[in-house]
Amino acid sequence: MRGVILHAPGDVRVGQREDPKIEQPTDAIIRVTASCVCGSDLWPYRGVEPVDRPAPMGHEYVGIVQETGSAVRDIRPGQFVIGSFWASDNTCEICRAGYQSSCVHRVLMGTIGTQAELARIPLADGTLVATPEVPGDDLVPSLLAASDVLGTGWFGAVAAEVQPGRTVVVVGDGAVGLLAILAALQLGAERIIAMSRHESRQKLALEFGATDIVTERGDDGVATVKELTGGLGAHSVIEAVGTQESMLQAIRSARPGGHVGFVGVAHGVELPGEVLFSSAVHLHGGPAPVRRFLPELIELICDRAIEPGRVFDLTLPLDQAADGYRAMDERRAIKTLLRP
Ligand SMILES: [Zn+2]
């Protein structure tokens, strides 16, 4: 089969990979309908994470089940399925508490590489959620968004305790940040302040439900948020970048007693104890347990109540994946959808 392989920083190509096979009785093989490039794929692409050998890429996927292992009970060939970036059994104590991304049997899909024609999905019954029927092609981008960016933004909003009547700040205007705005609106936020400097992203932020846009960063950004919130700061802040600057901005934008949900993959973040101590905020985050939210998100999408697929502003055939990486790296595209 064809699949995306990262050979070295900046050098991503589509090449031949071995067809996946059932390795464990709990596996399924899917034919990938669509995959996409994640902001986190840019970390190794930019050389921020080391690339020591050619690596298959991709951890977001929707597709049709081709084959299942002998122990798979619920998932059947022919179903259209969505899973997330950690395969999980959905039965262990951690999964049952709603933290499937920390499942004791978890498998990272990024090591499998779903930017390909086929993919092996471990722990298929726990990992995959099937739609009631094979959806129309127009729903595919939104269902694919649920695989990671929507589920991650949604977890950010839940971790930040977004509730009706609350004021929410979203730090980060990538796909996750934009969909955290959509999530905050769905969860009843009264006011949603998006921090963004890019016009096309500001526009989408407003369409997804942002009520205010703040273009300043750092001290000025915090000051503007305070101004907009009567000097108090926000009830809920969603951090969707993962840098030192964004994390501190998030903590300092929350009011005492407020909640910060952090879902940007942290790179080089070190929190000063004095800032933490004096902030008096709740911090909760980490790799999003997207599996917890998938059934609800799939229903909202199939009912056409939300359209998270609008974050895909570039769609390419799989063979042109390198162009998709480049466009995201240069911030010409918010998110690239790849069709095998
Ligand atoms: Zn588990």
Residue 87 CA to residue 26 CA, distance in Å, equals 11
Q: Measured in angstroms, how far is the CA atom of residue 78 from the centroid of ligand 1?
A: 25
> For the CA atoms of the chain, what is the radius of gyration?
19
Residues 133-149 have a mean pLDDT of 97
- Each residue's pLDDT tens digit, 92-131: 999 999 999 999 999 999 889 999 999 999 999 999 999 9
What is the per-residue pLDDT for 49? Answer: 85
pLDDT band at 59 (very low <50, low <70, confident <90, very high): very high
Residue 314 CA to residue 337 CA, distance in Å, equals 6
Q: Measured in angstroms, how far is the CA atom of residue 155 from the centroid of ligand 1?
A: 18
Residues 36-48 have a mean pLDDT of 93
Q: Which uninterrupted H or E stretch holds 118? A: strand 118-121
pLDDT band at 141 (very low <50, low <70, confident <90, very high): very high
What is the per-residue pLDDT for 48? Answer: 87
pTM over 0.75: yes
Q: Specify the 3-state DSSP secondary structure of 330.
A: coil
The single-letter code of the amino acid at 105 is H
Q: Measured in angstroms, how far is the CA atom of residue 214 from the centroid of ligand 1?
A: 40
- Each residue's pLDDT tens digit, 255-306: 999 999 999 999 999 999 999 999 999 999 999 999 999 999 999 999 999 9
Q: Measured in angstroms, how far is the CA atom of residue 127 from the centroid of ligand 1?
A: 10
Q: Measured in angstroms, how far is the CA atom of residue 93 from the centroid of ligand 1?
A: 7
What is the per-residue pLDDT for 50? Answer: 86
Q: Measured in angstroms, how far is the CA atom of residue 95 from the centroid of ligand 1?
A: 4
Q: Measured in angstroms, how far is the CA atom of residue 28 from the centroid of ligand 1?
A: 17
Q: Measured in angstroms, how far is the CA atom of residue 126 from the centroid of ligand 1?
A: 8
- Each residue's pLDDT tens digit, 200-209: 999 999 999 9
Over pLDDT 70: what percentage of the chain? 100
